[in-house]
Amino acid sequence: MKTLITERLTLRLVSVDDAPFILELYNHPDFYRFVGDKQIRTVEEARRYIQENMLHMQESKGVSLLVVETKADKQPIGICGLVKRDTLTAFDIGYGYLPHAYGKGYAIEAATAVVEFARDSMKIENLVAITNNDNIRSISLLEKLGFQFERIEQTYDNGRTLQLYTMTL
């Protein structure tokens, strides 16, 4: 994926220099709860995750999660981009943010840029998104973007459900 620019944000390819940020984001309690524990506990493990997962996906599938930075101070606040999971037929939009970025419209701004890139540059016709049934922020964002609930993808023992949303571009 290429760098995407919005009014307030820059979405750019991750690098190993982003390891401290990825370590912080991926170890935040909200990230654990809604995305899962990726077993990243050190900066070195974050570097390895960036190389073996994020950059590898970019190289092998042409898509990746991008680091979302505010233009004003060039500080990373989250990730947003496209993922191609082997378990799903369509490309998947993914995102996650640090709490200080919540409620400021950054997520919708970044996700809109990713959807437009998928449609206009990659000529993708359908996108999917997966979220927990209790992730109210994520469900709200997906609905604002125009995604529609399609089906329950998986149910967990703790009573939470993973839901699949779809969008035709």
* Domain ranges within the chain, ordered by starting residue: 4-124
Q: What is the pLDDT of residues 24-37, one digit of tens each?
A: 999 999 998 888 88
Query: 132: helix, coil or strand?
Result: strand
% of the chain surpassing 70 pLDDT: 96
**3 or 35, which is more confident:** 3
Q: What does the block give as tokens for 143?
A: 């609905």
Q: Say how many Å lie between the first and final Cα of the chain, rounded.
A: 18
DSSP 27: T
Per-residue pLDDT at 139 exceeds 60: yes
**Which pTM does this prediction carry?**
0.93
**88 or 149, which is more confident:** 149
Fold entry, domain 4-124: Aminopeptidase (3.40.630)
Instruction: Report the greatest alpha carbon distance in the chain.
Output: 43
- Mean local confidence (pLDDT), 58-74: 96
